[in-house]
Structures are given as structure tokens and as C-alpha cells.
Amino acid sequence: MKQILVTGGTGFLGSHLVEQLRAAESDARLRLLCRGPSPWDAEPTVEVVRGDITSPEDVDRALVGVDEAYHTVGVVVGERQDTELVFRVRVEGVRNLCEAALKHGVRKLVVVSESSAIGVDRQPVAHHEHSGYRPDLYGDWPMRRSGMMADQLVTSYFAQHGLPVVVVNPSHMLGPGGQRSSTRQVAWFLNGRLPLIPPGGMNVVDVRDVAAAMIVAMRVAKPGERYLLGAANWSFHTLAKNVARVAGVRARTLRLPLTLSLVVTRIMRRLPDSVARSFPLDATTLAMGSLYWYCDSSKARRELGFRPRHPLLTLKDTVDDLRRRGEVRA
């Protein structure tokens, strides 16, 4: 029986991936590496291994006898976090997985990176799989810099060690089930906590479509390949209008011109931490919001048959889910 490992199986993307794998790989044995309790603990068809991605010993133990592995830990960008922890989870975690996969002869890995690792610009340009890294634009944001470093590390394991790995780079994932994830900004907006809209933009994609594409990538993609997964390139202003539209509310926000956004960013950098923490967006996040995180998913469409659903449907499901969980007042 084929053995499949999923890391991050209790997270936003990972939970959707596990559900889809249970349907698509019904004859396989699923194993999850989880730090704490999971919804799958009582499920007889799923083996839960307690451990931490930052522990080489735990990861090594989880990969014993595994044929295929999906890595989803550390994908979603959260709020202000401890910098050391971010790098340990996102960079050292990837290193632990790659080392253990080489040791145990895992046949194939699908590792989730982020489109932002290579898809960012000062202009509204859609980047592709061969676009270069832009560390000059990441500023001091640990989430972005660690994402770039993890991406570089994974590709080096293929180039230098022949690790059979495929990298998928989803854009900003939305959809149902995103508690404490990338959907929180939608809740902030609808609850009136984002009065300022930065001048940049980003690509959005449905988390369920990303999970489905990962399974296809495991089946058909060649080791060493990379796929950007996105549905729509929207300015943040357009995104805000569309969220308000599907929610049936009026958007009460101020659209910041680039020059004003840069001024506000400089002011926020000078604020004491005790004051800055009262704002949902810190100075670095606002600076990143002045950039364009656009991507082109043509390769995934051609080679994986990637056909993401319309992003308005994704937004509707996201808003409905937030309301159902009581995270949105409107």
C-alpha cells in the first residue's frame, strides 16, 4: 500500500489537501506530521505522527516508509511573529524534510512555496516561473525573506542532490476554513479594521484549487519543475470592492496614493511598538502593500490542467465561512 505523508495537515491548505487526498487516494495510507491534536486523530484511515517540522528527528521518523510527501507547513502569512521561529519553521523545516526524503528514498515530493518568492514588482507585471528573486523588495519582512530562502533551498536540493521534488507557488489563498490564516484580512476589512487601502495589488486563488493542483502535480509533473498557481491579478482597491460586493456591504476605505503610502509607512516606522501594535497593518506590511504581487499561471494551465474557479465565487465562500464562524459582524 502506498504511503503518503502530509506536513501541515491541520493548516488552511493542508486540511483541504488531506480531504482531497482521502477521496483521490482511497487505496493509500495517509500519514500526517502534527505538533498537537488534529481532527484526524480518531480517523482509522489516517496515521497521525506527533512531531515538529523543526526537529530533524521527528521529520526523519515521519518519513520512514513514505513513498510520496506533500509539504504545506509555513505557507500562510500571519500577523507579526517571532523572526527566529519564522525562519526555523520555514527554512530549517524544509531542510529537515529534504534531508530525510533523500535518506529514505522518497519517490516524489510536492513542496509548497509562495508566488511571492519570485512574483513581486514595483509595477503591475505578472511574473512567471523563471522570474528571479527580488530580495531588494522584501524589506525586513521575515515572512517574505524566509519564503525566498526556503524556495532557494528546495531547488538546490534538486539541482545538487537530485531530490525528486516539484515546487508549487500559490498566490494569496482564500476560501472556506481559513481560521487564523490568509482570510483574516477579509475579516478585518469587513469589520472596518482596514480603513486604508495600499496602492499595490496581488493575485488571489482558491485554496481548494491549489490542493487539487498539488495532487495533479504529484501524478504528472517532472521533478525539478515549478508551477505558479493563481486565479486573478487584482489591485488591492479592486479586491476591496469585490469583497464588499459579494458581502453586500459598502466599502468604507481610503485608497492611498503611492506617495502618501510611503509617507504613512515612514511615520509608522517611527511609532513606539506599543502604539504600532494597535494598527492591524504594520509599517512593513503597508510597504509591501505598495508593491504588486502578480503572477502568470499559464504553465500550470498547460501542464497540470489548472482551471481555478472564478475568484468572486472564492470570495463569496470566504465571506460566508467567516460569517458562519462569527468572525465578521457585517
Domain range enclosing 72: 3-175+204-232+293-305
3-state secondary structure of 197: strand
- Domain-embedded: residue 261: no
CATH number for 223:
3.40.50.720
Number of domains comprising the chain = 1
Least confident of 96-105, 147-156, 186-195, 311-320: 186-195
pLDDT computed for residue 306 by the predictor:
99
Within a domain: 92: yes
Residue 141 DSSP one-character state: -
Only one residue has cell 495537515, namely 9
pLDDT at 75 over 60: no
Q: What is the pLDDT of residue 56?
A: 98
Q: What mean pLDDT do residues 128-135 have?
A: 91
Examine residue 272 and state whether it is found in any structural domain, yes or no: no
Within-domain flag for 282: no
Query: Which pLDDT belongs to residue 324?
Result: 93
What DSSP string describes 73-127?
Answer: TT-S--SS--HHHHHIIIIIHHHHHHHHHHHHT-SEEEEE--GGGT--BSS---B
- Average pLDDT of the segment spanning 9-28: 95
In a domain, 280, yes or no: no
| Nearby residues of 49 by Cβ (< 8 Å), 6 or more positions away | 31, 32, 33, 34, 58, 61, 62
Of 173, 172, 144, 13, which is closest to residue 83 (Cα–Cα)? 144
pLDDT at 26 over 60: yes
